[in-house]
Structure 1
Amino acid sequence: MPRPAEQDAVSSLSRGLALLELFSMDESELSISEMARRAQIPKSTTHRLVTDLLEWGALERGRGGVRLGVRLFELGSLVPDHARLRELAIPFAHSLNQITQLTSNLAVREGNEIIYLEKISARDLRVPHSRVGGRLPMHCTALGKAILAHAPVPFIERVLSEPLVRLTPATITEPEVLRRELPEIRTRGVAYDIEESQLGLFCVGAPIFARQGQVIGALSVTGATSLDQARRFSGAVHAAANALSHALGAPLSPSTRYAGRRVATVTDIS
């Protein structure tokens, strides 16, 4: 049995992590009072935990409260599997950005969401809903749908059995509609998001495969709203994703051999 002191330490750690999880892209700075209210932790305890997190560097002071600190970014960049994929993918993402003059993105799956590992912004296009470390649901992003289309059937059904959040009027929230779209994605090699995750923007994404042919992530570009425009850039995105997959040791043209794959984790590249 854990000793009382050990139980207190675990409790403090859990509460500290819960405080860090309160921050989001839309709310990057919070007051201690607001953190205490949302986490349902006494204000005095929250103040003590925030002080510890500030000293360690997980938080830093802002104008009206506290925000996530650079120490977390430093630790995140050391995660070996994600760092390995990001390191290999950056030249391909840069090439996509230069060739298309659009914002390019690299993402992997985390649960039923995608998490952005890299984003290279176009000079004249702001994409506010995506950021490095940010998350979005798989079903409404080209990156997520590109990954989902190559997942095994049980995983697909698990995603489709859960509520599909609507982010815009164009978001697909009907499981049958998305179920019919996935084979089309596999056939053409790319997935489209036309104002499904953000009004005014399109995204075209293609899957990345690891050495055993498992889908491990996706590359995409984002631009102004137009399906025709998205189709114009689909070849470049597909070619870049295939080239990166080959660099990771995947078989050539893996999109033709998707049946029965599991959704890989980034450990499959090492």
Structure 2
Amino acid sequence: MSGIIEGTAESADADAKSDAGAKSVLGKVQLILESFGHDDEHLSLTEITRRSGMAKASVHRLAQELLRWGVLERHGSDYRLGMRLFEIGQRVPRQRILRDAARPYMEDLHQSTSETIHLAVLDGREVLYLEKVPGHGQVSKPSRVAGRLPLHCTATGKVLLAFGPHSLVDEVVAAPLERITPRTVATPGLLLKELARARDTGHAVEYEQTRVGYLSVAVPLVGATGTTMGALSVTAPVFRADVRKYAGLLELAGRRVSKTITAMSSG
């Protein structure tokens, strides 16, 4: 990475110029890394060039720097994301604290329900999944750690909206609400009603709004300052789901996770 930075900073006296150059190069690095989708184990140089919209020579030069840093790795003649990215990701304080606090209780929930358990946080107008304990049986479109979904159609997203800042709700309802399935709530009025119900009950429920045949129940996870740090959910096939049971177990687990987070923060 030092080579990337050095190539952009020609002089300590030309701060504005070097800053602009660094941003430009980092922007190119971002385009390279974001060329990799969730289902891409590896990509050729040609495919990265096509997806990034950059010149092939630039992609090749920066890819060599990223290989030396460990952000990219070789897979034959192709490239794949490197373990260095995973290593750096583990250092993010909020992610690490929340995941470490929640994981034991996620395991307990899985033992009690035999269903899929998710831990999610807010990222923009999406939920970002930090951790997952898979349930019995294969979901038709399985979720994944580091995957994202819209806030308005997921139980975790509805909880983060219901117990988050009002400005976020205003931002979400002001934008078009994408219809993921025929049952996705796609009008502001209906979404606001669901959020009000979540505040009253302490949990959110979505029926087939993300995947046909599945429902999810979620609760907020509250930090030491009373701020909602994330959401915990159970996802199950509709035919065998027990919403009342899941809500009770989640609320108990949520209180325990919040207590653990508080203890970790004060320690």
- Structure 2 residue matching 1:197: 3-state secondary structure: coil
User: Which sits farther off after the overlay, 175-184 or 60-69?
Assistant: 60-69
Deviation at 1:168, TM superposition (A): 1.9
1:264 is aligned to none
Maintained 8 Å contact 1:36/1:43:
yes
- Asked if residue 53 in structure 1 is aligned to residue 66 in structure 2, the reply is yes
Distance 1:141 1:221 in 2: 11
One-letter amino acid of the counterpart of residue 96, structure 1: L
Of residues 184, 190, 212 in structure 2, which corresponds to 1:177?
Answer: 190
2:245 is aligned to 232
Distance 2:160 2:50 in 1: 37
User: Which sits farther off after the overlay, 93-102 or 23-32?
Assistant: 23-32
- Structure 2 residue matching 1:248: 3-state secondary structure: helix
Of residues 87, 111, 120 in structure 2, which corresponds to 1:98?
Answer: 111
Q: Which has the larger radius of gyration?
A: 2
Distance 2:130 2:245 in 1: 25
Deviation at 1:13, TM superposition (A): 2.4
1:72 is aligned to 85
Q: 1:14 to 1:154 in 2, by over 3 A?
A: closer
1:42 is aligned to 55
Distance 2:207 2:78 in 1: 37
- Asked if residue 211 in structure 1 is aligned to residue 233 in structure 2, the reply is no
Maintained 8 Å contact 1:58/1:70:
yes
Distance 1:127 1:174 in 2: 26
- Asked if residue 88 in structure 1 is aligned to residue 101 in structure 2, the reply is yes
User: Which sits farther off after the overlay, 70-79 or 45-54?
Assistant: 45-54
User: What is the TM-score when the length of structure 2 is the normalising length?
Assistant: 0.85
Q: 1:151 to 1:202 in 2, by over 3 A?
A: same
- Asked if residue 109 in structure 1 is aligned to residue 132 in structure 2, the reply is no
User: What is the TM-score when the length of structure 1 is the normalising length?
Assistant: 0.84
Deviation at 1:224, TM superposition (A): 1.1
Q: Higher relative contact order at CA 8 Å, sep ≥6: structure 1 or structure 2?
A: 1
Provide the identity percentage.
38
Distance 2:158 2:239 in 1: 18
Q: 1:88 to 1:127 in 2, by over 3 A?
A: farther
Distance 1:269 1:97 in 2: 28
The CA deviation string for residues 191-235 of structure 1, in whole angstroms up to 9 with x for no partner, is 112221223322111111112322111101111124853343221
Q: 1:128 to 1:228 in 2, by over 3 A?
A: closer
Distance 2:148 2:251 in 1: 22
1:261 is aligned to none
Distance 2:125 2:20 in 1: 32
Q: 1:85 to 1:226 in 2, by over 3 A?
A: same
Distance 2:16 2:254 in 1: 52
Deviation at 1:29, TM superposition (A): 3.2
Maintained 8 Å contact 1:146/1:191:
yes
Maintained 8 Å contact 2:215/2:241:
no
1:151 is aligned to 164
Distance 2:266 2:38 in 1: 29
Distance 1:239 1:52 in 2: 48
Name the Cα RMSD after superposition: 2.5
Deviation at 1:48, TM superposition (A): 1.6
- Asked if residue 130 in structure 1 is aligned to residue 136 in structure 2, the reply is no
Deviation at 1:7, TM superposition (A): 5.1
One-letter amino acid of the counterpart of residue 39, structure 1: S
